[in-house]
Chains A and B, each alone.
Chain A
Amino acid sequence: MRAFWPWLLAAVFCAGLIHVLAVLGVPYLASRDGWSRLGEMSDENQIYLLPIAAADAPLPFMAPDIAYAFCRFNLTARNVLLQTELGDATWSIAVSGRRGENFYFISGAEAKRRELRMLLVPRARLAEEASTERSEEGDEQIIVITPDMTGVAVIRAPVRGPSFAKDNINALQSAQCQTVIEPDPNLIASETEAKPQPTVPTVVRGNQRQSRPRNEVR
């Protein structure tokens, strides 16, 4: 038995190494993290609404009295513009990275306006572009600098009671998430065609994906 002591000490040391590697590796190996779960039901740079209090919610422990809309953004090609209404002080927008690191959050109480424009710009591109806090149309916009090219923006709209749910859904259906198309000086004549078309929010349930007209609410 005495001969096993060196092996035991080595086992404790190796167990420590395995422990560290496992803890550090899980975020990169987990196949069912929030990003992946939402990815199963959504395309990038589009806004999706999740049904309130769904029995087959895509994420665990989703608040049943919050209406959620989300946009998985990918800034590799272009910046992304998120536009939404903030119904009251309790509404919020959280912008997080691919692995859940929440680097920006604003609530309706802080925004102090009902309509919000948020331009997502990757840090890597910031030096190359002149992004301003006013859009070409003159609207105020918040510039959010993202550490990575991919992430997710989540709009949370707390529901005061069941009778208010439809109002929240209607308000969220006006939200948009789309890539920003830079104006091409050679195509000024066809400016109207160059403008991005508004995306219609999609209501998703479980693993299904289904386009829905704006006013059709379940």
Chain B
Amino acid sequence: MKNLVFFLLFALLSLVMGLGSAYILIEDGFALVSPQTGPWKTWINAGSLTADPYTRAHVARSGDLPTNAASGLAFIASTDDDGRDLSSACEYEIVARPLSAIWWTIGLYDSQGQLIPNKAGRHAFNSQNLTVLPDGTQRISLAPQARPGHWLPSGEDHDLTLVLRMIRPLSVEQQREGGVFQSLPTIQRVSC
């Protein structure tokens, strides 16, 4: 009887630890496969022919069709600079500086990756329609109500996700110093 209990415990522990750890690492990654810079995370090997197994599994589960890092980079942020979840109940300011890429865009989604419907029909700003201010920055307000300047409507009752995409970025090695991507936009909470 004791052996049967031990076997059942063994089977349960094996499954929970094996599948649980695989799920967590496939969804969230870890520093080697999905380096994080401030609130921004990227699956650096996504789309590569030599991608690691965790990245391949993540791409398959996410349903994305990524380009390799030399051709395009995608950074995802679901928290602000202080690590708090992005929520449509709060207002944020995104401060960027022109990035080294042929083209780049910042888009706003809900936590499932779908666009947030809004009357303005506005979901993103990109390097071609963002104004550079005299101090060299490009600023976007993320708020449920209209704001002057570049305003991204965040709707109501949503957990938010921001995605920064670059087409043909400056080489990954040049963008990363000490394992950290340089010049990514900041996300500051203004009010809540």
- A-side interface residues toward B, CB under 8 Å? 3-4, 7-8, 10-12, 14-19, 22-24, 26-27, 30, 32-34, 36-38, 53-57, 59-61, 63-66, 89-90, 92, 94, 96, 99-103, 105, 107, 109, 147, 152, 154, 156, 158, 160-162
Closest to A60 in B: B113
B47: which of A54, A90, A102, A107 is its contact (CB, 8 Å)? Answer: A102
Q: How far is the CB of A101 from chain B (nearest CB, A)?
A: 5
Closest to B120 in A: A162
Residues of B within 8 A of A32 (CB): 61, 63
B6-A61 in contact (CB<8A): no
Distance between Cα atoms of A99 and B48 in the complex (Å)? 11
B89 at the interface (CB under 8 A from A): no
Which B residues from 108 to 137 make CB contacts under 8 A with A?
109, 112-115, 117, 121, 123-126, 128-129
Residues of B within 8 A of A17 (CB): 18
Closest to B76 in A: A61
Distance between Cα atoms of A59 and B25 in the complex (Å)? 22
Residues of A within 8 A of B59 (CB): 27, 33-34, 99-100
Interface size class of B (residues with CB under 8 A): 35 or more
Residues of B within 8 A of A100 (CB): 46-47, 56, 59-60, 64-66
- Are A23 and B54 also in contact (CB < 8 A) when A101-B47, A102-B67 are? yes
Give 10 closest A-B pairs by Cβ, nearest first: A18-B18, A60-B113, A15-B17, A105-B71, A64-B123, A26-B57, A14-B14, A102-B47, A30-B60, A15-B18
Closest to A70 in B: B65
B22-A60 in contact (CB<8A): no
Q: Select the stretch in B90-98, B161-169, B177-185 that faces chain A.
A: B161-169
- B-side interface residues toward A, CB under 8 Å? 2, 6-7, 9-10, 13-19, 21-23, 25-26, 46-49, 51, 53-54, 56-57, 59-68, 70-72, 74, 76, 102-103, 105, 107, 109, 112-115, 117, 121, 123-126, 128-129, 161, 163, 165, 167-168
Q: How far is the CB of A65 from chain B (nearest CB, A)?
A: 5
B56-A15 in contact (CB<8A): no
Q: How far is the CB of B119 from chain A (nearest CB, A)?
A: 13
Closest to B52 in A: A23
Closest to B62 in A: A60
Residues of B within 8 A of A23 (CB): 22, 25-26, 53-54, 57
Residues of B within 8 A of A147 (CB): 49
B168: which of A53, A55, A63, A109 is its contact (CB, 8 Å)? Answer: A109
Distance between Cα atoms of A8 and B12 in the complex (Å)? 11
